[in-house]
Structure 1
Amino acid sequence: MIKYTVDSDIELKILDNTHAIEIEALVNSDRSYLRKWLPWVDKTKSVKDIEAFIDSTKNQFASNNGFQTSIWYKGNLAGVIGFQRIDWVNRSTNIGYWIGKDYNGKGIMTKSVSVFVDYALIHLNLNRVEIRCAEQNYRSRAIPERLGFMKEGFVRNAEWLNDHYVSHIIYGMLATEWRNIRN
């Protein structure tokens, strides 16, 4: 198992089938909270559904197209973060994430996103990281804003979310900007 210690409370672990039961339990306990912004929640009904997702992330990792990690806070599963894809030709990636309701407001996701941005722009030598957030999802939008991402655009009706479309705000960070922020 590949893992990374963010700080004394937060650890990131490459998704593994051993996490499926805990992920399913977190999704089930926070289903109504998560479905407000995540279209996959209603389709995720069992441990088998989670295992299928984890298997797809293993294929993603094996094809060098990014990876997904579980986020652990004080030993408890708090959420998931990952590179949704990596565009090696254009040296860019986008980050997606979600966190359980009880773990909001603790800085867990901001710290986790920061680690992913470091990894993308410094270790993978990519040039650009993008984060897209639903326009009305202010908690999610606060993360790239807090980290200094530039608000680059607005995509109308970008995602079908259960029974309606939501528009997206696009945030971007370039490697040169990140180095200046980190110094």
Structure 2
Amino acid sequence: MLLQKITENLSFRLFTVDDAEEVFTLINNSRTYLREYLGWVDLTTEVKDSETWIKTTLQGMVETGGFPTTVAIIYGGKIAGTIGIQELNRANRSASIGYWLGEGFQGKGIMTKACSSLMDYGFNELKLNRISIKAAFSNEKSRAIPERLGFREEGHIRQAEWVYDHYVDHVVYGMLAEEWGSYQK
């Protein structure tokens, strides 16, 4: 999955260190928006922070045997956000999907298409049996993604994540390979 075209204007690609400034600018321009649900935003204060993060994601490919855990979502030739398969458990053939999108890219169906494409990759290429998505209970936009894609709501995790000065609850959604196959038909 070095480069994957999803639609004419939408694709995935690996990050490069040269993306650091664009990623930082995207975060900085969406800082207030992203900060509501992402606890790492205040830790990204300069381009060097984005560069370090990109290097860490690229190093993660070594640790997973060449599998990228996070990729850039490219929309109209610009980095719109990130998406990745996390918590990969090869023994149980399960993983979760995590994502974020810059504020200016909201409402275009980008993340739903990106998640669908990544799920195809997870189920068909990685041969996963289960993919989950966790979203903050009050984050309606993020929760709408798995709901649109036919995930089942499986539970509610109380005080699952510390975001700056308070805990947020998470809703857990799950999809099995056999369900994705029938959903896609």
Q: TM-score, normalised by structure 1?
A: 0.97
1:138 lines up with 2:135 in the alignment = no
Could you say which residue in structure 2 is the equivalent of 1:78? 80
Give the conservation status (yes or no) of the 8 Å contact 2:58–2:68. Answer: no
For 2:136 and 2:164, the matched residues in 1 are separated by 13
For 1:121 and 1:66, the matched residues in 2 are separated by 15
> CA deviation digits over 1:2-51, x for unaligned, max 9?
21111001011112212111000000111011100110000111111111
Could you say which residue in structure 2 is the equivalent of 1:18? 18
1:38-49 matches, within 5 Å, as: 38-49=38-49
Describe the SS at the equivalent of 1:57. helix
Give the conservation status (yes or no) of the 8 Å contact 1:144–1:171. Answer: yes
Could you say which residue in structure 2 is the equivalent of 1:113? 115
For 2:2 and 2:139, the matched residues in 1 are separated by 31
> CA deviation digits over 1:103-141, x for unaligned, max 9?
111000000000111101111101000100000000000
1:33-182 matches, within 5 Å, as: 33-64=33-64, 66-182=68-184
Give the conservation status (yes or no) of the 8 Å contact 1:20–1:51. Answer: yes
Structure 1 residues 28, 44: CA separation in 2 closer, same or farther (over 3 Å shift)? same
Runs of 5+ unmatched residues, structure 2: none
Give the conservation status (yes or no) of the 8 Å contact 2:88–2:96. Answer: yes
4+ residue segments displaced more than 2 Å: none
Describe the SS at the equivalent of 1:67. coil
Runs of 5+ unmatched residues, structure 1: none
Shift of 1:62: 1.3
For 2:39 and 2:76, the matched residues in 1 are separated by 28
Aligned length: 183
Structure 1 residues 46, 74: CA separation in 2 closer, same or farther (over 3 Å shift)? same
Describe the SS at the equivalent of 2:91. coil
For 1:167 and 1:134, the matched residues in 2 are separated by 6
Letter in 2 for 1:100: G
User: 48-57 or 111-120: which moved more?
Assistant: 48-57
Percent of matched pairs sharing the same residue: 44
Give the conservation status (yes or no) of the 8 Å contact 1:134–1:169. Answer: yes
Q: TM-score, normalised by structure 2?
A: 0.96
RMSD of aligned Cα (Å):
1.2
Structure 1 residues 128, 66: CA separation in 2 closer, same or farther (over 3 Å shift)? farther
